[in-house]
Amino acid sequence: MAIATINPTTGETLQTFTPLSDAEIETKLSLAQSTFEQYRHTTFAQRSQWLNNAADILEQDSLKFAQIMTTEMGKTLQSAIAEAEKCAKVCRFYAEKAEEFLADVSIASDASHSYVAYQPLGTILAVMPWNFPFWQVFRFAAPALMAGNVGILKHASNVPQCALAIESIIERAGFPAGAFQTLLIGAEKVESIIKDERVKAATLTGSEPAGAALASAAGKQIKKVVLELGGSDPFIITESADLEEAVTTGVKARMLNNGQSCIAAKRFIVAESIADHFESQLVSQFKALKVGDPMEKDTNIGPLATDKIRAELDQQVKQAVNQGAKILIGGESMTDRPGNFYPPTILTNIPTDSPVAQEEFFGPVALLFRVKDLDEAIALANNIPFGLGASAWTTNAAESKRLVAELEAGAVFINGMVKSDPRLPFGGIKRSGYGRELSSQGIHEFVNIKTVWIK
């Protein structure tokens, strides 16, 4: 795949980039290693100052960064501004909390003094996706840099200007040259980089095939990997739910980022007794969404990031219909305009044993299922290979307790949409990946958790 900015709203190629040569990659890896040897000895106070500087830059120039995001991958400008501001928040969170999270922990033993120390590993490779092109990177970079590691970024090939902007922000903030570098390279170069002895670990957010490939390559080198992969999150509405709030939140949770979010609500699982009312409200609110230019303030849904993604989504919808699904709204690519537009779509009557019921739909397509009781809802929610997030709606305490205990996911949200928060760990189980980002758990992923025993 070419490394290029292709505006998904118009299909126009705005800029292309020459991938780094092997010699240029070597220069950057060498700089990362030499920088780490010095950077690891900087104080928490110094790193904190630099990271707060990065937060200042993100806030002051949020519109500029948002315009880059919207131009490269099509998210609405308003959501892109919010993304830049959220990146500032994760920077401030770790600037404040990292020293506490990484403080020595004394443990009583047969030693005169024994404790756990947290020490940086070195150069960490981050392989990041296009859908949240700033947030995915900063939620890795902030804790990694505060822990004393250095980072190298292989970003998605369709968001090169985002990748370069992030590198510039970190450099402008005062971090040493080489503390965080962008590598404009294709996916075929990742394996050789993970093999390099100077690279100590890796993190990837992306597709199952990409995660499996990186994990396999890292496994051969016995190097740690954190993976955040796909999801087909359930959104369960019980008979006792606040139906109006559930519908409104469900629309937002499905359409976040033009529907291109791993933790979007993708499968609506509704109690039969309220299903007709929920369905009519969902259709009504989907109809009211404006699809159009993501730079315009009143646009709700922009284009999908690439034409390939749109074609794949369209094929999935057609396959679902062939397997018995019924289209309530949408269901056809919007060919009346340039760009990669696909309308808000709802599918129902989907056979639960059909192959398409096991897939992730990465776009503005909601799958609607009816169930007779909570047992059936939980069973259907868990009957997928993914386990990233789950949202469930109930005002019954016993139902809530069961949902929290029995839903197979890295996160369960009761009466709210699934979201990431710097204060809470984020990650999945099953084929949605392993390891955690954010909170104290996220910063502990890429440190040496060292036991110290002194007599």
Q: What is the pLDDT of residues 44-65, one digit of tens each?
A: 999 999 999 999 999 999 999 9
Q: How confident is the model at residue 301 (pLDDT cuts 50, 70, 90)?
A: very high
Give the whole-angstrom CA distance, residue 359 versus residue 354.
Answer: 10
What range does the domain containing 352 cover? Answer: 233-421
| Selected catalytic residue, list 72, 167, 228, 279 | 228
Q: Is residue 351 part of a domain?
A: yes
Q: How confident is the model at residue 369 (pLDDT cuts 50, 70, 90)?
A: very high
Whether residues 341 and 409 fall in one domain: yes
Q: Is residue 402 part of a domain?
A: yes
Give the angle subtended at the CA of 69 by the CAs of 165 and 36, to the nearest 5°.
30
pLDDT at 260: 98
- Whichever domain contains 7, its CATH number is 3.40.605.10
Q: What is the mean pLDDT of the chain?
A: 98
Give the whole-angstrom CA distance, residue 400 versus residue 129.
Answer: 33
Q: Is residue 427 part of a domain?
A: no
What's the token pair of residue 257?
A: 């980022």
Whether residues 157 and 263 fall in one domain: no
Whether residues 445 and 296 fall in one domain: no
Give the whole-angstrom CA distance, residue 233 versus residue 91.
Answer: 28
Active site residue 72: no
Q: What is the pLDDT of residues 123-144, one digit of tens each?
A: 999 999 999 999 999 999 999 9
Average pLDDT of the segment spanning 180-203: 98
Give the whole-angstrom CA distance, residue 186 versus residue 1.
Answer: 7
Closest C-alpha among 288, 403, 313 to residue 366? 313
Q: Is residue 193 part of a domain?
A: yes
Q: What is the pLDDT of residues 97-123, one digit of tens each?
A: 999 999 999 999 999 999 999 999 999
Q: How confident is the model at residue 307 (pLDDT cuts 50, 70, 90)?
A: very high
Average pLDDT of the segment spanning 303-313: 98
Helix (H) or strand (E) holding 270: strand 265-271
Q: Is residue 214 part of a domain?
A: yes
Q: Where are the beta strands (DSSP E) in 57-198?
A: 105-106, 113-120, 123-127, 150-154, 180-182
**Contact, 14 vs 6, CB < 8 A?**
yes
Active site residue 312: no
Closest C-alpha among 380, 382, 414 to residue 397? 414
Positive or negative, the CA dihedral 14, 72, 226, 309 is: negative
**Contact, 401 vs 389, CB < 8 A?**
no
Whether residues 291 and 346 fall in one domain: yes
Q: Is residue 426 part of a domain?
A: no
Answer whether residue 333 shows pLDDT above 90.
Answer: yes
Give the angle subtended at the CA of 299 by the CAs of 293 and 301, to the nearest 5°.
85
Q: What is the pLDDT of residues 2-19, one digit of tens each?
A: 999 999 999 999 999 999
Q: How confident is the model at residue 199 (pLDDT cuts 50, 70, 90)?
A: very high
What's the token pair of residue 150?
A: 């250095």
Whether residues 206 and 332 fall in one domain: no
pLDDT at 46: 98
Whether residues 166 and 290 fall in one domain: no
- Sheet of strand 105-106: strand arrangement: 105-106, 113-120, 447-454
- Whichever domain contains 338, its CATH number is 3.40.309.10
What's the token pair of residue 327?
A: 């289209």
**Contact, 75 vs 68, CB < 8 A?**
no
Contacts by 330-339, CB closer than 8 A, 24 or more apart: 330/286, 330/364, 330/365, 334/291, 338/9, 338/10, 338/11, 339/7, 339/8, 339/9, 339/10, 339/11, 339/74, 339/303
Alpha helices, DSSP H only, in 14-126?
A: 22-39, 44-60, 62-73, 77-101
Q: Is residue 172 part of a domain?
A: yes
Whether residues 241 and 364 fall in one domain: yes
Average pLDDT of the segment spanning 72-76: 98
3-state class (DSSP) for residue 387: strand
Whether residues 165 and 178 fall in one domain: yes
Q: Count how many domains the chain has.
A: 2
Give the whole-angstrom CA distance, residue 455 versus residue 453.
Answer: 7
Whether residues 412 and 439 fall in one domain: no
What is the pTM for the complete model shown? 0.98
Average pLDDT of the segment spanning 231-257: 98
Share of residues in the chain with pLDDT > 90 (%): 100
Q: Is residue 377 part of a domain?
A: yes
Whether residues 220 and 103 fall in one domain: yes
| Selected catalytic residue, list 262, 359, 399, 445 | 262
What's the token pair of residue 114?
A: 């024994």
Residue pointed to by tokens 């710097």 = 422
Whether residues 196 and 263 fall in one domain: no
Whether residues 60 and 167 fall in one domain: yes
**Contact, 439 vs 424, CB < 8 A?**
yes
pLDDT at 220: 98
